[in-house]
Amino acid sequence: MTKPTHDITNKPELARFVDSYINFLDIHSKDVKFGSDLLDSGIKTEFIQKMELFMVNPLQALLDQRQMVDANLYTIVDGFVNLFFEKAKKLNIVKSAFKKRNGSATMYMIVLNQDNFNNRNEIFYFLDHYSSLGVYDKLPIYFQFVPTELEEKFITEESVA
């Protein structure tokens, strides 16, 4: 394969990522071999059970995979949004924030230290950035500003800031 003349990737970082993947495949291969050996003795490891599910009920197995992928996606989105709220709290813009998930959508209830249009715009800049990432229709997030006097209505929700 011809190498690109202008390689814009960060080679050391990419190389580390490739190495990690090789390690993962190595460990995974050993796990599968281990499961295969145990299967001869009539024992099914967790991975072998998943393979069996793919054979007997592929739809359920795929749905399980999708659930796992969704959970990973939500974790990444949560981390991204939480980081923003941490910064906004340090900047004294956000007083507190709470999260409520409803299906694939996540609503964040945000209490501002000073609820004015400028501070709301600051928060919306982030939401605008998120919506530009091309994942918004699949992983929507909504921001709802909450007046300070109504903060207590949301303290039972999961706190994120």
Partner 1 sequence: MQEFINQAKHNHVLHDSICENYKESYYDWKITCLFYVAIHYLKALAKKRKKDIGTSHMEINGNIRGGSHNASMPIQDTARQNYMNLYHYSQSARYEGFKDLKTFNAIKKKDYEHSLECFNQFKKFIVTSQVPINT
> Residue 30 or 153: which CB sits closer to partner 1?
153
Task: Give yes or no for residue 142 binding partner 1 (CB under 8 A).
Answer: yes
Q: 3-state class of 97 per DSSP?
A: strand
Give per-residue burial for 101-140: e unless 16+ CB within 10 Å, then b: eeeeebbbbbbbeeeeeebeeebeebbeebeeeeeeeebb
* Binding flag, residue 131, partner 1 (CB under 8 A): yes
Asked whether position 146 contacts partner 1 by CB under 8 A, the answer is yes
Decide if 82 contacts 141 (C-beta within 8 A).
no
- Taking CB under 8 A as the rule, does residue 46 contact partner 1? no
Cα 98 from chain centroid?
17
- Token pair recorded at residue 146: 């909450």
Of the candidate residues 28, 30, 87, 153, the single one contacting partner 1 (CB under 8 A): 153
Tell me which stretch binds partner 1 (CB under 8 A): 15-23, 34-42, 61-69, 143-151. 143-151
Smallest separation (angstroms) from partner 1 to the CB of 159: 16
> Contact 152/109 with Cβ under 8 angstroms?
no
Q: Which is nearer to partner 1, 31 or 115 (CB)?
A: 115
| Chain residues 84-123 in contact with partner 1, contact rule CB under 8 A | 100, 102, 105, 107, 115, 117, 120-121
Q: How far apart are CA 36 and CA 41, in angstroms?
A: 9
Which residue ranges make up the site for partner 1 (CB under 8 A)?
100, 102, 105, 107, 115, 117, 120-121, 124-125, 127-128, 131-132, 134, 136-137, 140, 142-147, 150, 153
